[in-house]
Amino acid sequence: MIVLGSTGSIGVNTLEIAKKFGIEIEVLVAGKNIKLLNEQLKEHSPRTVVIADHQDIQDVNHSNVYAGEENILKAIEDSESELVVNALVGFMGLRPTLKAIECGKKVALANKESLVACGNFIDSSKIQPIDSEHFGLWYLLQDRPVKKMIITASGGAFREWDISKLKNATLADTQKHPNWSMGQKITIDSATMVNKMFELLEARWLFGEGDYDAIIETKSLIHALIDFKDGSTTAHFAHANMQLPISYALNQEMNSNILKHVDLLEVGSLEFRKIEKERYPVWEIKEDLLNNPNSGVVINAANEVAIEKFINKEIGFLDIHKTILDAYETYDIEPKSIDDVFEIDAKIRRELGR
């Protein structure tokens, strides 16, 4: 298989599962963590390696190394692998998703932005979700009438903060996730609740029109719930570990033990909270966005611009929300094609200052 984003947490877990199941790695794509990449190369010996920057090629311990987006796409096109695990972060993950589908490959997708920005033009039957929330929904779905699909959120770094102090939150503050350690951007998205809004959009494209919502579950042991029309509700419990959804993407006839079971007596109790607009202002547009899912390209571009500005200390934390909400109101545009998606994305980034 091909692993895009091999040095991130999802990529690392994917390679662990590949080792467990004896799956050959044909292509590894990584960013700037060359030290970890070299360790992965020792163990997995891919045919081709692609990294972010040309100047780092000399530091990679492999004879077949390339750099840049075009070479990612070429590696996908030239490969024999039938499965592409896309764990790239941000809008840059979209073209590889499109290329993999164009080449007739199955995509195990952890790149949120692919469906958020371009869901209307992606054949979701070619996608196996490996975010724990969408995996949970997929796992629970039965041939029964569904009333509502619900995913859960941790609440992010600021779920316990005094709301009046959010305006002074720093980048370091956003990275203090209460339940686990993730990459910088996704941890900021968790703090703003943008990631959960993205996941609801993804669910809409993966599972079709319907009623979708999210709630906070503070221990991150329940990842998804489904309300059926008969009045019953099912929930997917599992320890927060990406190896479970990744395993099913590789082998849907799973009969191996991947995780330790959740011991409810050990857990003792669970706490659920409503996602409040006062703490997460971006939640104000959640319902409207789900009714107009083609606007995902707008909020994704605005979010990526705002995060870059926040990291560079050009704006404050709450300005991330403001940038997204202002863009959503300003850019009332809907892509009619894949080319439109890229043009709209470029326009918004240019006009918002990046």
CA-CA distance, 339 to 59, in Å (whole number)? 36
- The answer to whether residues 195 and 47 belong to one domain is no
Among 129, 145, 176, which residue terminates a domain? 129
- The answer to whether residues 92 and 174 belong to one domain is no
- The answer to whether residues 125 and 145 belong to one domain is no
- The answer to whether residues 163 and 277 belong to one domain is yes
Comparing CA positions, the residue from 138, 84, 90 lying closest to residue 114 is: 90
| 83-86 and 2-4 strand pairing | parallel
CATH at residue 53: 3.40.50.720
Domain assignment present for residue 339? The answer is no
- The answer to whether residues 150 and 258 belong to one domain is yes
- The answer to whether residues 121 and 73 belong to one domain is yes
Q: Cα dist. 194→116, 296, 336 in Å?
A: 11, 11, 24
Domain assignment present for residue 297? The answer is no
Among 245, 275, 291, which residue terminates a domain? 291
- Phi/psi zone of residue 179: left (φ > 0), alpha (ψ -120 to 50 degrees), beta? alpha
pLDDT for 116 equals: 96
- The answer to whether residues 123 and 196 belong to one domain is no
Lookup: tokens for 101: 């589908």
Domain that holds residue 275: 133-291
| Contact in structure between 86 and 115 (CB atoms under 8 Å) | no
Going 227 to 228 to 231 to 234, the CA torsion angle's sign is negative
Among 234, 257, 291, which residue terminates a domain? 291
| Contact in structure between 206 and 129 (CB atoms under 8 Å) | yes
Number of domains, the chain: 2
- The answer to whether residues 239 and 260 belong to one domain is yes
- The answer to whether residues 140 and 65 belong to one domain is no
DSSP-assigned beta bridge partners for residue 235: 225
Domain assignment present for residue 114? The answer is yes
- The answer to whether residues 43 and 124 belong to one domain is yes
Comparing CA positions, the residue from 192, 152, 159 lying closest to residue 281 is: 192
pLDDT for 354 equals: 60
| Contact in structure between 149 and 202 (CB atoms under 8 Å) | no
Going 303 to 304 to 308 to 314, the CA torsion angle's sign is negative
| pLDDT in single tens digits along all 354 residues of the chain | 999 999 998 999 999 999 988 999 999 999 999 999 999 999 999 999 999 999 999 999 999 999 999 999 999 999 999 999 999 999 999 999 999 999 999 999 999 999 999 999 999 999 998 989 999 999 999 889 999 999 999 999 999 999 999 999 999 999 998 877 778 999 999 999 999 999 999 999 999 999 999 999 999 999 999 999 999 999 999 998 888 998 988 877 778 888 999 999 999 999 999 999 999 999 999 999 999 999 999 999 999 999 999 999 999 999 999 999 999 999 988 899 999 999 999 999 999 986
**Amino acid of residue 95:** R
- The answer to whether residues 121 and 14 belong to one domain is yes
| 127-129 and 272-273 strand pairing | unpaired
pLDDT for 44 equals: 95
Burial profile 108-147: b = 16 or more Cβ within 10 angstroms, e = fewer: bbbbbbbbbbbbbbbebebbbbbbbbbbbbbbbeeeeebe
* Complete edge-to-edge strand list for the sheet that includes strand 48-51: 65-67, 48-51, 27-29, 2-4, 83-86, 106-109, 127-129
CA-CA distance, 10 to 64, in Å (whole number)? 24
- The answer to whether residues 229 and 278 belong to one domain is yes
Domain assignment present for residue 280? The answer is yes
**pTM to 2 decimals?**
0.93
CB-based burial label for 256 (10 Å; 0-12, 13-18, 19+): exposed
